[in-house]
Amino acid sequence: MKSENFPSYYTILFNGITDALEALDCQDFGRARAILVQSQQEAEEAYIEAGEPS
């Protein structure tokens, strides 16, 4: 399998979604929400720092 080089903001979101799904499986809805919010904020910061065109 070819290794892909994804932007950091994609990796941040993907990992956050994975963690949030695990929290949902445990019915820890507050933790899942917190993970998603934090991942969204971190990904937005990484996107801005990367200077990606909008």
pLDDT tens-digit readout, 33-45:
999 999 999 999 9
- Report yes or no on 52 lying in a domain: no
Chain segment 2-21, per-residue pLDDT in tens: 667 899 999 999 999 999 99
Q: How many domains does the chain have?
A: 1
- Report yes or no on 35 lying in a domain: yes
pTM: 0.82
- Report yes or no on 3 lying in a domain: no
pLDDT value of position 39: 98
Domain of 37 in residue numbering reads as 8-47
C-alpha distances in Å from residue 23, one per residue of 7, 32, 46, 50, 51:
25, 5, 24, 29, 32
- Report yes or no on 1 lying in a domain: no
Residue 26 has pLDDT above 60, yes or no: yes
d(CA 49, CA 4): 21
pLDDT value of position 3: 61
